[in-house]
Amino acid sequence: MQEPQIVINTYMEKEDYRKFLYIATFKKKKFTVPLLCLISLFASMIIGFDNGYFHLTRFIVSWIFLTALAIVVIIFKIERQYSQRVKTDKTGTFESMSTFKFYEDRIVMENETLKSTGELKYNQFFAVLESKDYFIFYLTANQASLIRKKDVTNLDEFKAFVAGKFKTKYKKI
């Protein structure tokens, strides 16, 4: 039987999950903040008009307020999602070790605590993103697995391997 080229044991702690939610919201979807600013801009333009006159101060204040409000609402939603996930985690997802075995043509993912094993060929992944602290392997557009960079022994070798295997699906954010 073929031996894996790279084996990585990694954990996802609660704080890693929180960071992932922020990355998925603000970095993966780079249009989120500009879109919020644009929507706030249009709403502020409406607020800025009064009886045929445009009030610049009202426009600027409302634009800043609406943009800040939209971002606060998104942050609140992320924190609520994080809290719900942490409260309902009965399986021990957090602090359980996951093993990623990288072969020539596939990845085998195992988690003994969850008693789960999965195997996917590289071309079956939706995307792979590299952030400052993580490699995020998207199995689908909404399902992902994380590898913490601090758990990778030879980071440069691993980056080159991942970039080579995933080519156009790999992106640094």
pLDDT digits over 48-67, tens only? 988 888 899 999 999 999 99
Q: For tokens 């399902």, what's the residue?
A: 143
State which of 88, 115, 135 marks the end of a domain: 88
Count how many domains the chain has: 2
- Domain assignment present for residue 155? The answer is yes
CATH of the domain at 106: 2.30.29.30
Q: In the prediction, which pLDDT does 18 show?
A: 92
State which of 32, 61, 88 marks the end of a domain: 88
Residue 27 is given by DSSP the state I
Residues 100 and 166 in one domain: yes
- Domain assignment present for residue 1? The answer is no
State which of 66, 88, 110 marks the end of a domain: 88
120 touches 138 (CB < 8 A)? no
pLDDT digits over 9-20, tens only? 998 888 999 999
Residues 84 and 130 in one domain: no
Per residue of the chain (173 residues), give pLDDT as tens.
689 999 999 988 889 999 999 988 887 777 788 888 899 999 999 999 888 888 999 999 999 999 999 999 999 999 999 999 888 877 667 778 899 999 999 999 998 877 888 899 999 999 999 999 999 999 888 888 899 999 999 999 999 999 999 989 999 98
Q: Which of 109, 100, 102, 80 is nearest to 166 (CA)?
A: 102
Domain membership of residue 29 as a residue range: 18-88
Q: In the prediction, which pLDDT does 30 show?
A: 74
- pTM for the full predicted model: 0.79
Task: For the chain, give the longest Cα–Cα distance.
Answer: 78
**What does the DSSP assignment read for 84-151?**
HHHHH--S--TT-EEEEEE-SSEEEEEETTTTEEEEEEGGG-SEEEE-SSEEEEESSSS-EEEEEGGG
Residues 76 and 110 in one domain: no
**Amino acid in position 77:** K
